[in-house]
Structure 1
Amino acid sequence: MDFRRQRATVIGLAREGTALARFLAEGGATVTVSDIKSREELSEGIEALVGLPIRFVLGGHPTEILEADVVFVSPGVPLEIPILAEARKRGIPISSETRLFAQLCLASIVGITGSSGKTTTTALVGEMLKKAGYRTWVGGNIGQPLIGHLTDIRLKDKVVMELSSFQLEFFAPWPGKPAVGAEDLAFAFTDQGWSPPIAAILNITPNHLDRHPTMEAYIEAKVNILRYQGLGDVAVMGYDNPVTANLESRISNRKSRRVLSFSLRTEVEQGAFVRACPEPCPERNRRRSRRDGKVVLRLGEEEWQICAVADIKLLGQHNVENVLAACAIAGAAGADPQSMSQVVTTFTGLEHRLELVRTLRGVRYYNDSIATSPERTVAALHSFEEPIVLLAGGRDKHLPWEEMAQLTLRKVRHLVLFGEARPIIEKAIHDAQRTMRSAQLAIHRCSTLEEAVEIAAENAQPGDVVLLAPGGTSFDAFRDFAERGERFRELVEAL
């Protein structure tokens, strides 16, 4: 890529910002990186860019950084900050690493979003396409940014991207006109939106309301993944989620695309679903259940049985939904049923997602640090029949805790609360106790994850499951959910 004589400012030196700054600088652009953090706080990112002609403006965002042909924004940067308001006022194009990659990528892109399940589904789709023989790249909100691999990606490759609501905000049209001579760098910043030719919204539930001003704004950001699709493109949507089941009515070009669905409860016309065993179930001498059923994929006039639900290695009903979604998406992208079957019957999951850390003295310890919302904690709790010692807490995202509190009273023996959200969760538990009968729940309170693991180990009995599924984010004590999960793993291994 040749970006000589073009000026770019990158706001936010996080994972995406670092990769983008390198890509632009190596292409010859004049690059400025701005971040509110200090040089010491950003030492890792700065070290990764040593030797490149990049100017760093740290500790704030002075207006001088707007002496640029385009401003790129990292996903963690709020779009309402004053410097971006000034950029819009001046008519400077604003975009992101993800948007630029999507515009420059030669290969067809599969985009996947949702409030939960998108990382596991993205990984499954990537593995299915690889197994089917495609040269496949997986990235976006998972793994390393793909912008650095842009020159290696070929036309016939497959690119599978997990996309967050923050990344999808930039798929909408953004105001601003490239300066003369900067069109090659900034052509993505026209008044045209962009959506991947195969796009999936798994589900939409309240999430990230600490960042998005309203639930409606959050939904609108998610819908960008479908909104700008064209003739012959494919949309995959969760049939069982009330929001995604009704998304078509929100999209003006809905007749031009092919729509697939996936469902645990309904045999959808096109897509993936679970077909329950006939009555009685031939494989088990009891009443039929969808847990005894088969994963079925229906595309056009053809139908394939992918596997038995019982053969899926991933824990939990929510992961059966992820498998269904992956089959519909991968099928649309060209994977064959045999490859799908081989993947779903061997794939055991990703770290920090119901990850079995250790079995000690008859107690199994699971790391589900990815559970950064109450809804994800609910999904984790539903994955076990055994008595549970639950570690919950972290930082609240202003989401409802009622359903989690009610399920905790039904399934948890010991609740260990830690971090900033512990009084909020405890209040939700006490409110739920007023309206429902439950076994006696022991509540333990502490400040840190270290204390929480110690308390859990002291109270767990043989046959119990100790489950880290916090329900809150990690930002009160850790850099991200992965660092929290790694610390939990270390603590459990040290018991």
Structure 2
Amino acid sequence: MNKDHFFQYLSGKTVTFCGIGRSHMPLMELFQKKGALVSARDKRSFEELGENGEKLKALGIKLILGEGYLDHLEENLIFRTPGMRYTLPELAEARKRGSAVTSEMEVFFELCPCKIYGVTGSDGKTTTTTIIAEFLKAQGKQVHLGGNIGKPLLPEIESIQETDCAVVELSSFQLISMRESPNVAVVTNLTPNHLDMHKDMQEYIDAKKNIFLHQNAFSRTVLNADNAITADFAPETRGDTWLFSRRENLRRGVWCDGEKIYVNGEEALAVRDIKLPGWHIVEDYMAAIGAVWGEVSPENIRKVAAEFGGVEHRTELVREFEGVKYYNDSIASSPTRTISGTLSLFDKKIILICGGYDKQIPYDPLGPVICDRVKTLVVMGSTGPKIEEAVRNAPGYQEGSPKILRVKNMEEAVDAARSEAQAGDVVSLSPASAAFDLYPNFEVRGRHFKELVNELR
């Protein structure tokens, strides 16, 4: 189905959106303009919806709210929010009654007329996605960047041309029900994550595999050869398969010897020429280069590497105050991300603010790294006790090294870090946990941290 036929189909159809958030808000207004009879469903009350509720009420969109918001799902077309399990009994019953149950990203893949680059993984998704977009822009392409990175793309579908490029970050929640794959699929790495939402690790892995399982022989798949799970995906791919590695010299793919990045044996980029620090950033560049090699010139790749300053909330320097540098790494919502990010960057022990919502993932690997690279650990949130236990049980732990401080919220965490810090120190928020215990998402958490740091006097 093309986009014109789809919007013709919508006219007069009943459409409901389960979950009122950033991916659904612009869609509801668009679908209403196209003649659909739109309703919105959410477990929250009207008061809890705030500005979104007021806007939908002003548009005349029917609101179905509260505990029974999924009752009587009888609309022609049902959109689920990515965080909603597609196997919910209410959705299964709706399918039996003949309703079409889908998502914003599934429909976008169905209708998108241009080449799609998709990126998934446990860590590094957003930076890799953004680097790919920057590469393509440098080559003169019209780029549409969105997906899990924070911007829905379906509302833009009417303006997307065949000669454009769509670069999409994809979460396991988006991928789990998808039956189409992007033209170029990148898997940065896979480690235990989101086990509070997936029934087990295998379901999480299987969801991620949908990024390449539905590709054809003309597609490209880029996999991390240094990650055991993603390396094992290679025999299942259908198209042109590229690997990237910091451990082995690859005949076909992207390899880094510690100083330079090579593509199929050809020198592409010197590590020292990448503006952003950290080996996790080097790996993000390797994945992105594998995605665009042959379409973006080496000159434009080097230009982006030298100029790209990074993405907000990713080891972002907030401020230097009283000789102390404060970094915001709120995106680090898993232990592996904190280990490969903040804890790999500095040549001295730092003050680390850690903890948040519990996604039921193991924290044992974090303990030894904190013991080695942190002088003061400030823990908070549901995972605070788990992180402290991992540190105390680590082989290298000695009482007071690191010093461990327990706090209740971000205000107390920033105050504690400031009290501990001396000129020359580094303080970093790198929670190794999701934000949902105290914040709606990692962006709100990161911005609150930045506000508090910028208010220090």
SS in 2 for 1:472: coil
Please report how far the alpha carbon of residue 21 of structure 1 lies from its aligned counterpart in structure 2 after TM superposition.
1.7
- Structure 2 matches for 1:182-331, cutoff 5 A? 193-249=179-235, 251=236, 254=237, 256-274=238-256, 276=257, 290=258, 293-298=259-264, 304-331=266-293
Structure 2, unpaired ranges of 5+? 1-6
Aligned to 1:169: 176
Asked whether the 8 Å contact 1:409–1:438 carries over to 2, the reply is no
TM-aligned CA distance change 1:410 to 1:64, over 3 Å: closer
Task: Kindly report the root-mean-square deviation, in angstroms, between the aligned alpha carbons of the 2 structures.
Answer: 1.8
Which moved further from structure 2: 47-56 or 395-404?
47-56
Which moved further from structure 2: 349-358 or 137-146?
137-146
Asked whether the 8 Å contact 1:295–1:306 carries over to 2, the reply is yes
Please report how far the alpha carbon of residue 436 of structure 1 lies from its aligned counterpart in structure 2 after TM superposition.
5.6
Asked whether the 8 Å contact 2:223–2:234 carries over to 1, the reply is no
Aligned to 1:397: 359
Which whole-Å deviations, capped at 9, do the CAs of 1:443-491 have from their partners, x for residues lacking one?
1111011111111111112221101101111111111111110011011
Which whole-Å deviations, capped at 9, do the CAs of 1:238-285 have from their partners, x for residues lacking one?
111110001133x3xx3x4110111112222222221x3xxxxxxxxx
C-alpha separation between the residues in 1 aligned to 2:153 and 2:31?
A: 13
Are 1:134 and 2:141 an aligned pair?
yes
Q: What is the aligned-residue identity percentage? A: 40
C-alpha separation between the residues in 2 aligned to 1:483 and 1:165?
A: 22
SS in 2 for 1:335: coil
Which moved further from structure 2: 439-448 or 146-155?
439-448
Aligned partner of 1:215: which letter? M
TM-aligned CA distance change 1:62 to 1:473, over 3 Å: closer
SS in 1 for 2:79: strand
Aligned to 1:285: none
Which whole-Å deviations, capped at 9, do the CAs of 1:426-454 have from their partners, x for residues lacking one?
11111115x66698221111101111111
Aligned to 1:190: none
Are 1:336 and 2:297 an aligned pair?
yes
SS in 1 for 2:218: coil
TM-aligned CA distance change 1:467 to 1:316, over 3 Å: same
Which moved further from structure 2: 377-386 or 159-168?
377-386
Asked whether the 8 Å contact 1:353–1:367 carries over to 2, the reply is yes
C-alpha separation between the residues in 2 aligned to 1:30 and 1:469?
A: 44
Aligned partner of 2:119: which letter? I
C-alpha separation between the residues in 2 aligned to 1:305 and 1:339?
A: 14
C-alpha separation between the residues in 1 aligned to 2:193 and 2:234?
A: 21
Aligned partner of 1:99: which letter? E
TM-aligned CA distance change 1:36 to 1:63, over 3 Å: closer
Are 1:462 and 2:444 an aligned pair?
no
C-alpha separation between the residues in 1 aligned to 2:380 and 2:133?
A: 36
C-alpha separation between the residues in 1 aligned to 2:150 and 2:89?
A: 30
C-alpha separation between the residues in 2 aligned to 1:63 and 1:494?
A: 43
Asked whether the 8 Å contact 2:391–2:397 carries over to 1, the reply is no
- Structure 2 matches for 1:59-78, cutoff 5 A? 59-61=66-68, 65-78=72-85
Which whole-Å deviations, capped at 9, do the CAs of 1:288-315 have from their partners, x for residues lacking one?
xx1xx112223xxxx5433210121112
Which whole-Å deviations, capped at 9, do the CAs of 1:45-87 have from their partners, x for residues lacking one?
2344455452211114456642222211011223343422322
Aligned to 1:183: none
Asked whether the 8 Å contact 2:122–2:193 carries over to 1, the reply is yes
Aligned to 1:477: 438
Aligned partner of 2:272: which letter? A
Please report how far the alpha carbon of residue 386 of structure 1 lies from its aligned counterpart in structure 2 after TM superposition.
2.0
Which whole-Å deviations, capped at 9, do the CAs of 1:318-356 have from their partners, x for residues lacking one?
111001111111226x22211111001111211110000
Please report how far the alpha carbon of residue 167 of structure 1 lies from its aligned counterpart in structure 2 after TM superposition.
0.5
Are 1:145 and 2:152 an aligned pair?
yes
C-alpha separation between the residues in 1 aligned to 2:406 and 2:100?
A: 49
C-alpha separation between the residues in 2 aligned to 1:63 and 1:349?
A: 40
TM-aligned CA distance change 1:451 to 1:247, over 3 Å: same
Aligned partner of 2:310: which letter? G
SS in 1 for 2:110: helix
Please report how far the alpha carbon of residue 105 of structure 1 lies from its aligned counterpart in structure 2 after TM superposition.
1.1
Asked whether the 8 Å contact 1:18–1:48 carries over to 2, the reply is no
Asked whether the 8 Å contact 2:116–2:184 carries over to 1, the reply is yes
SS in 1 for 2:378: strand
Asked whether the 8 Å contact 2:117–2:184 carries over to 1, the reply is yes
Which whole-Å deviations, capped at 9, do the CAs of 1:119-158 have from their partners, x for residues lacking one?
0000000011000000111001113211111111111000
Which moved further from structure 2: 418-427 or 219-228?
418-427
Asked whether the 8 Å contact 2:254–2:263 carries over to 1, the reply is yes
Please report how far the alpha carbon of residue 215 of structure 1 lies from its aligned counterpart in structure 2 after TM superposition.
0.2
Which whole-Å deviations, capped at 9, do the CAs of 1:375-421 have from their partners, x for residues lacking one?
11111201111220011111121111111111111111111111222
C-alpha separation between the residues in 1 aligned to 2:70 and 2:390?
A: 45
Aligned partner of 2:251: which letter? E
Please report how far the alpha carbon of residue 92 of structure 1 lies from its aligned counterpart in structure 2 after TM superposition.
2.5
TM-aligned CA distance change 1:358 to 1:49, over 3 Å: same
Asked whether the 8 Å contact 1:108–1:155 carries over to 2, the reply is yes
Are 1:445 and 2:406 an aligned pair?
yes
Asked whether the 8 Å contact 1:119–1:162 carries over to 2, the reply is yes
Are 1:29 and 2:36 an aligned pair?
yes
Aligned to 1:361: 322
C-alpha separation between the residues in 1 aligned to 2:324 and 2:452?
A: 15
Which moved further from structure 2: 203-212 or 44-53?
44-53
Which whole-Å deviations, capped at 9, do the CAs of 1:153-200 have from their partners, x for residues lacking one?
1110000000000000121xxxxxxxxxxxxxxxxxxxxx21111111
Aligned to 1:491: 452
Are 1:17 and 2:24 an aligned pair?
yes
TM-aligned CA distance change 1:438 to 1:248, over 3 Å: farther
Would you say how many aligned residue pairs link Structure 1 and Structure 2?
448
Are 1:81 and 2:93 an aligned pair?
no
Which whole-Å deviations, capped at 9, do the CAs of 1:192-249 have from their partners, x for residues lacking one?
x211111111111100000000000000000001001112111111111110001133
SS in 2 for 1:46: helix
